[in-house]
Every structure is written in structure tokens, then in C-alpha cells.
Structure 1
Amino acid sequence: MKTKLTHRLFAEVLGTCILTASVVGSALMADRMTDIPALVMLCVAVSCAAALFVLLELLGPISGGHFNPAVSLAMCLQGRVTRYEAAAYISMQTIGGLLGVVLVHGMFDLPAVSLGVQARTGLSIWLAETASTFGLVFAILFGLRFRPQSVSAIVGIYVLSVTLFAASSFANPATTMARALTATLAGIRPTDVPAFIIAQFLGAMLAVGLARWLTSPSALTAQR
């Protein structure tokens, strides 16, 4: 039985809020504790991957555990949610991301919002965002198809990995917009946000296209 839309939307708000808080909060905490960039990145990677695993395990059965507009777009293209549901999900995810930033700022005694100052732009960064979002959506789609009981672990492990190897791995339009409202290390300049979102949605659409091709009937060979 499918959960009511209002409950699913609340789960998406809550999940995106916690996910965003895990990224921004861990970056802020690690930055205050150490001057070693590698340790800061490791803290962020572990925090985000762990939070995502827990959220997918607990809230996934309610809303599907998108917590990401790029994922909702992919699910819409796959026919798993309607256009109306996808639009509602994306709206709630955006709100959830903003609430996550406000929550972290409150916990660290910072102004509720402050414009991001971290410059994140250039072809290499956009390529990294496309690739990281592609990998995320690809992992979700193929996990759902071939390892549905292990999706939470698959996605969590992928996020841990991509955060450590990619030049940029926001891979989430909702958290990207939210991180434009924090001047902490996890922030991004508002002017850099549109290109990030375009790259992220492109990565999601490429993943959907490849998933369709690899699992299409024409990909199967006849048994003799």
C-alpha cells in the first residue's frame, strides 16, 4: 500500500534537512577541529554516507528516499512517480535543504543564513558534478533493479567513495541551493549554483538513458 502524499512529502523534507545538515555540519565541525583539508574531507564523506544510509533505511519505505531533485527527476523519467509527485518532491526537498542549513547555523551559533563565498566554477568542476550525479543515479537505478535489499548500502558506499575521489560531488540540486546560503567551508557562491544544477540534472538524465539501454530487451541474447 502506498503512503499518503502528505506523509511522503514530510519524509522528503525531513530527510533532505538531515542530509544537508550532515554535510554542512560535518564540514563546519571538522574545519574548527583541524587545519588538514584531507581530514575535513574525510569527515564530510563519512558523515554524509552514514546519514544517507540511515535515512534510506528508515524513510525510504515511506517516500522512496529521494532527498534529491536529480533522483526525483530520474524516478519521474522511469515512471516510478508522476510529474506532479516529482514536482512536489522537488519543492519539499528544496525547503528541507534550506532548513538543514538554518539548523546547522543555529547549532553553531551563526546567523540563520549567510551568502556562500566559496568559488566553485569551471569546466572541470561541472564535469565532476555531472559524473558524480550520474554515478549516484546509476547506483540507485541498478540497485533497485538488481539488489533492492541492498540499495541503502550501495548508495551510502558510493557517496563515501565519490566524496573522496571527485573534484566536486554535491550531486544534489536541493543541497546545492541550500549551500549557497552558508558562508562556511561547505558553501558555494550563489552565482555558481545554476551551472551546478544544470550539470547535476544532465548527469541524472544520462544515467537514466544508459540504464534504459543496458536493461532493454535488445540487450538480452537468446539462449541456445
Structure 2
Amino acid sequence: MSLILRRATAEFVGTAFLVMAVVGSGIAASRLSPNDAGLALLENSVATGAALIALIVALQPVSASFNPVVTLVERVLGMIDGPTATALIVAQFAGGLAGTVVANLMFGLDAVSFSSHERTGPGLWLGEIVATVGLLLIVFGTVRSGRADRVAFAVGGYIAAAYWFTSSTSFANPAVTIARTISDTFSGIAPASAPGFIAAQLLGGVSGFLLIRFLYPALTAAEQAADRKVIT
């Protein structure tokens, strides 16, 4: 099996399970806590953060971006080539949609039901920019400081927190955003609201990339080793 196929499969499976965690826990939370939106969000955020940690730990040896913005930044940084990036992004979008369908079916809902949950406005778009910049800072800052083995815990913790400190509840992922349009549940987003979120995520991606390049310029092997000693 080719490396690209293995990586694409990992991205498909990982993104599918991530979306199952987001949508499935959102459905469960709304049923368990129908009169307490705050508690439902807490349940949703904890489940998502925990699932992210587990998925990244398991799939990181193969591929564990689960996010087209992260993959695009990897491409621009020269970490992967064009064909690989394309394959991974396609797998992420396909996996996200598959994950939503499975989550809907697990809870006895229609496989596809377009969301009526409108999420729009400057405040929410700013929230998505902030969420995406922060995510990229966590991912690439952790990797470039020589602590790639800690990415799972850093990302899972950040996303669980960003559910609360961003106005948008931190989608920060175009594949997940599209996937959440086909579930008319707690975690859904109306299809008409998705383009604004994705545009904000891409803007956050550009901003995050520039920040990463400024904070973590390319280092020699010796400099990386010295940097790791200082940081740890």
C-alpha cells in the first residue's frame, strides 16, 4: 500500500471519528441536559477534546492533521508535497461527512438533515479567526520546539478550552464545518453560515502561518537541539 494511501486513510478515519465525537456528543448532551445549554456545551467540549487526544496519539505515526488548514500550512512550509496535500484534504472532507452520517444514524436520526442553526456575524467570524490562529500556533509551535510527542495533549486541551473562550465555539476546521451542515442538531451549522466560517478559518490560517514563520523560523539541526534543551 502506498504511503499516500495510508496517510489519506488515516486522515479519513481520524476526521470521521473527530466529527462523530463532535456531533455525537452534541446530540447526547442536548438529550441529557436539554434545559442547560452551558452544561451541554461542557459535555460537548470535554468529549471533543478527549477524542482529539486519543485520535492524534493513535494516528500521528501515519497522519493526524484532520484539518485542511493545518494540511495547507504543512504544504506551504514544505513538510509535504502537493499531491499528498491534495489527497489528505479530500480524505478529510470525505471523512468529516461520513462521520456526521454515522453520528446521526447512531442516535436514530436521518442520515442527512441540513442544519437550521444559523451562525453568522462579525463576532463569530472573529472568533473563528482567533480559534484557527491559536490552533496553528499550538500545533506548529509544539512541533517546531521539538515536542511533537506532546501535540495530542496540547491540541486536545486547546480545543476543549477554545469551545468556551471563542464566540464561535471554535470550529477552526473547514472539513468539520462542512460536515456539521448536515446534522440539524446541537452541533450543527446552517449551510448558508458555512462560507463565512470557512473564509474566517482561511484568513486565520494565513495569519497563523505568518505568526509561525516569525516565531519559529527554520533552524539548523544544532540550533534545534540547543533550543530543545533550553525549552525542556
* Structure 1 Cα separation of the partners of residues 190 and 197 of structure 2: 11
SS at match of 2:62: helix
* Structure 2 Cα separation of the partners of residues 148 and 185 of structure 1: 33
* Structure 2 Cα separation of the partners of residues 171 and 121 of structure 1: 15
Q: Indicate the residue corresponding to 1:203 in structure 2.
A: 204
Q: Deviations over 1:173-196 (max 9, x none)?
A: 001001111111111110111111
Task: Give ranges in structure 1 of 5+ residues lacking alignment.
Answer: none
Aligned pairs, how many?
216
Alpha-carbon shift at residue 203 of structure 1 (Å)? 0.8
* Structure 1 Cα separation of the partners of residues 149 and 184 of structure 2: 39
Question: In the alignment, is residue 75 of structure 1 matched against residue 69 of structure 2?
Answer: no
* Structure 2 Cα separation of the partners of residues 195 and 18 of structure 1: 25
* Structure 2 Cα separation of the partners of residues 31 and 93 of structure 1: 26
Alpha-carbon shift at residue 214 of structure 1 (Å)? 1.7
Q: Indicate the residue corresponding to 1:23 in structure 2.
A: 22
* Structure 1 Cα separation of the partners of residues 24 and 115 of structure 2: 15
Residue type matched to 1:61 in 2? Answer: P
Question: In the alignment, is residue 125 of structure 1 matched against residue 129 of structure 2?
Answer: no
SS at match of 2:19: helix
RMSD in angstroms over aligned alpha carbons? 1.5
Alpha-carbon shift at residue 27 of structure 1 (Å)? 0.7
Residue type matched to 1:58 in 2? Answer: A
Q: Indicate the residue corresponding to 2:230 in structure 1.
A: none
Alpha-carbon shift at residue 70 of structure 1 (Å)? 0.9
Alpha-carbon shift at residue 215 of structure 1 (Å)? 2.4
Q: Indicate the residue corresponding to 1:183 in structure 2.
A: 184
SS at match of 2:182: coil
Alpha-carbon shift at residue 71 of structure 1 (Å)? 0.8
SS at match of 1:112: coil
Alpha-carbon shift at residue 216 of structure 1 (Å)? 3.1
Q: Indicate the residue corresponding to 1:152 in structure 2.
A: 152
Question: In the alignment, is residue 50 of structure 1 matched against residue 50 of structure 2?
Answer: yes
SS at match of 2:61: helix
Contact map agreement 2:141 2:216 (CA 8 A) in 1: no
Question: In the alignment, is residue 14 of structure 1 matched against residue 13 of structure 2?
Answer: yes
Alpha-carbon shift at residue 110 of structure 1 (Å)? 0.7
Q: In the TM superposition, what are the counterparts of 1:158-173 in structure 2 within 5 Å? A: 158-168=158-168, 169-173=170-174
Q: Indicate the residue corresponding to 2:100 in structure 1.
A: 101
Q: Deviations over 1:33-52 (max 9, x none)?
A: 11211111111111111111
Identity %: 39
* Structure 2 Cα separation of the partners of residues 57 and 183 of structure 1: 30
Task: Give ranges in structure 2 of 5+ residues lacking alignment.
Answer: 224-232
Residue type matched to 2:213 in 1? Answer: R
Contact map agreement 2:144 2:216 (CA 8 A) in 1: no
Q: Indicate the residue corresponding to 1:91 in structure 2.
A: 90
Residue type matched to 1:48 in 2? Answer: T
Contact map agreement 2:4 2:87 (CA 8 A) in 1: no
Q: Deviations over 1:46-83 (max 9, x none)?
A: 111111101110001111x1001111111111111112
Q: Indicate the residue corresponding to 2:228 in structure 1.
A: none
Q: Deviations over 1:153-184 (max 9, x none)?
A: 11111111111211111111001001111111
